[in-house]
């Protein structure tokens, strides 16, 4: 496996974190530059569309404010994913509690997103998306983390809060279900 | 679409897509995929799924996010940097509080000790709870009345001069006090008409032939 936590300048995430702790703001900017797009993709793969910038920003702020909790047992990116996932779940819970007021108008961000999504993703990708809707929430999450983010089973297990073996089983079950849907 | 029986190779397909394999492993997996139709089909499916999952995600402005993140986290970082100074100031304040408390205790305790010492000078010497009043002799017999008396009630019942004479050392009295005491003693009856009040005073009665 290659080390995704080392940038082109040869500095690891841990080096940058140490510099940030000493007050070097450029180190923070470098960490953001290194992981922001991955966090945006991660958020997007879980359905976040409108407020991805805010979500990514909040994730970094939360991470930098609680760096003492980062023990370095997983990669920094996996830790960021964990924080972002929690933020996403919190937001979804908050949205569920909020009174529903749906006033969809032409030109809404969500409408644009769907149209853009369909255009870019193509027919094959559209079929995969439909297939993924048949999956259980856990299967979908594990499949997304494995396919969209390329995380290892160990990282997925840490993120989702399960075992490595269970993550592997969820992934293969999800893959089988997607294949069956597409074959039908 | 069937599954390749080589589960290890299938497990590596997402890693191949995301270039998370070292060169040796990548060569092995690539060679397997070239010869395995099932794995090729699955790799294609994984690519399509990847596109489907990330295609709708617009890229974020990393520069703006970095600037805002740094601004939002700058204050806590500055606070954290200053934390040792705050801690030192707090520790110094605590030291001063402890020192002040000790000083108050020492001064207060010393004051109480001195006050007690002064009061102790005025307090009568340790008197047995049993006050003895020797009655005048009748013939050769000596009537000795003994009864327990509480010192404080006794002194409270006495006049000031008696308290003075009973409580303190005679040597501590001034000339004037001594004269007053003697005058008072001279005015006392030799034998009290009633049950005598308990007075812890040894009085010498003239003409009785002994000190009593």
> Residue B146: beta bridge partners?
B132
| Strongest mean pLDDT among A30-39, B86-95, B126-135, B201-210 | A30-39
pLDDT over 70 at A12, yes or no: yes
Instruction: For residues A138 and A157, give the distance between their C-alpha atoms in angstroms, rounded to a whole number.
Output: 11
pLDDT over 90 at B210, yes or no: no
- Cβ distance B58 to A52 less than 8 Å, yes or no, reads yes
- Please report, for residues A12, A27, B95, the alpha-carbon distance to residue A19 in angstroms, rounded to integers and kept in the order given: 11, 6, 34
- Please report, for residues A167, B10, B184, the alpha-carbon distance to residue A177 in angstroms, rounded to integers and kept in the order given: 15, 15, 121
* ipTM (interface pTM): 0.71
Q: Closest Cα of chain A to B76: distance in Å?
A: 7
Does the beta carbon of A65 lie under 8 angstroms from any beta carbon of chain B?
A: yes
pLDDT digits (tens, 9 = 90+) for A54-81: 999 999 999 998 888 888 878 899 899 9
Report the pLDDT value the prediction gives residue B87, as an integer from 0 to 100: 55
Token pair belonging to A154? 């160990």
Q: Which helix (H) or strand (E) segment is B146 a member of?
A: strand B144-148
> Residue B133: beta bridge partners?
B145
Helix ranges (DSSP H) in chain B: 7-17, 23-35, 37-54, 62-122, 151-157, 160-167, 175-187
- For the packed helices A109-132 and A137-147, what is the interaxial angle rounded to 10 degrees? 100
Whether A61 and B72 have beta carbons less than 8 Å apart is answered as yes
pLDDT band at B9 (very low <50, low <70, confident <90, very high): very high
Q: Among B29, B38, B77, B205, which residue's Cα sits nearest to residue A63?
A: B77
Whether B99 and B107 have beta carbons less than 8 Å apart is answered as no
pLDDT band at B117 (very low <50, low <70, confident <90, very high): confident
Token pair belonging to A110? 């969500």
pLDDT digits (tens, 9 = 90+) for B144-198: 444 444 444 444 444 444 444 444 566 677 888 888 878 887 777 665 555 556 6
Instruction: For residues A150 and A74, give the distance between their C-alpha atoms in angstroms, rounded to a whole number.
Output: 15
Tally of CB atoms within 10 A around A66:
11
- Per CB distance under 8 Å, which residues of B are interface residues toward A? 1, 3, 10-11, 14-15, 17-22, 25, 42, 45-46, 48-70, 72-74, 76-77, 81
- Cβ distance A150 to B76 less than 8 Å, yes or no, reads no
């Amino acid at each position: 496996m290659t080390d995704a936590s080392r940038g082109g300048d040869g500095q690891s995430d841990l080096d940058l974190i140490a510099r940030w702790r000493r007050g070097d703001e450029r180190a923070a900017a470098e960490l953001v530059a290194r992981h922001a797009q991955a966090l945006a993709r991660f958020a997007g793969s879980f359905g976040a569309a409108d407020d991805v910038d805010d979500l990514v920003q909040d994730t970094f702020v939360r991470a930098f404010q609680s760096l003492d909790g980062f023990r370095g047992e997983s990669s920094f990116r996996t830790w960021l994913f964990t924080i972002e996932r929690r933020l996403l779940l919190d937001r979804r819970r908050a949205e569920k509690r909020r009174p529903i007021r749906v006033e969809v108008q032409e030109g809404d961000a969500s409408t644009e997103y769907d149209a853009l999504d369909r255009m870019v993703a193509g027919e094959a990708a559209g079929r995969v998306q439909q297939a993924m809707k048949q999956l259980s929430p856990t299967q979908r999450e594990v499949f997304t983390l494995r396919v969209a983010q390329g995380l290892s089973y160990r990282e997925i297990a840490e993120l989702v809060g399960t075992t490595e073996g269970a993550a592997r089983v969820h992934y293969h079950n999800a893959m089988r279900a997607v294949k069956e849907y597409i074959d039908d | 679409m069937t599954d390749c029986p080589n589960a290890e190779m299938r497990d590596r397909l997402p890693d191949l897509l995301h270039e998370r394999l070292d060169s040796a492993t990548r060569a092995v997996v690539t060679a397997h995929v070239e010869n395995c139709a099932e794995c090729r089909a699955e790799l294609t499916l994984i690519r399509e799924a990847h596109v489907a999952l990330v295609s709708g995600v617009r890229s974020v402005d990393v520069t703006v996010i970095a600037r805002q993140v740094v601004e939002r986290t700058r204050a806590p970082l500055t606070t954290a940097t200053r934390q040792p100074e705050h801690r030192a100031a707090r520790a110094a304040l605590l030291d001063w509080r402890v020192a002040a408390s000790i000083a108050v205790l020492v001064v207060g305790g010393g004051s109480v000790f001195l006050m007690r010492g002064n009061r102790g000078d005025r307090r009568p010497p340790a008197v047995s709870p049993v006050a003895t009043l020797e009655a005048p002799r009748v013939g050769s017999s000596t009537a000795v009345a003994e009864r327990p008396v509480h010192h404080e009630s006794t002194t409270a019942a006495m006049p000031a001069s008696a308290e003075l004479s009973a409580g303190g050392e005679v040597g501590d009295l001034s000339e004037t006090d001594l004269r007053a005491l003697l005058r008072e003693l001279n005015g006392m009856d030799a034998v009290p008409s009633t049950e005598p009040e308990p007075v812890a005073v040894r009085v010498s009665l003239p003409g009785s032939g002994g000190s009593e």
